[in-house]
Amino acid sequence: MFGAPEFAVTVVDGIITRINVLRGAPCGATWETALRVENLPVEEAIVRIGLDVQYYCIADPAGWDPIYGKSPVHLAGKFHAAALKKALKRL
């Protein structure tokens, strides 16, 4: 249930009509943001989920990763956007 985000999505006419969280962040950001991207166009949803996860994530944004040069919040946004793209490829 918890770990790297994973989604199952339903798309009708380029709109995400349903998104199920198969695995997500323990803080709950994955589930909150999944609700917010339903009924959005696919391209908008990919951007929106990354941004919204950054807002709802409770990781310390001041803790910059020295290798990637990003905060955990930024990485969480990128991971969620990538997970949504992966789910869309399975359609």
pLDDT tens, 4-56? 999 999 999 999 999 999 999 988 999 999 999 999 999 999 999 999 999 99
Region class of 6: left (phi > 0), else alpha (psi between -120 and 50), else beta = beta
Rounded CA gap, 37 and 17, in Å?
9
| Topology of domain 6-89, CATH | Sufe protein. Chain: A (3.90.1010)
Predicted confidence band of residue 68 (pLDDT cuts 50, 70, 90) = confident
Predicted confidence band of residue 63 (pLDDT cuts 50, 70, 90) = confident
User: What is the model's pLDDT at position 90?
Assistant: 94
User: What is the model's pLDDT at position 80?
Assistant: 97
Cα of first residue to Cα of last residue in the chain, in angstroms, is 22
Q: Is the pLDDT of residue 59 over 90?
A: no
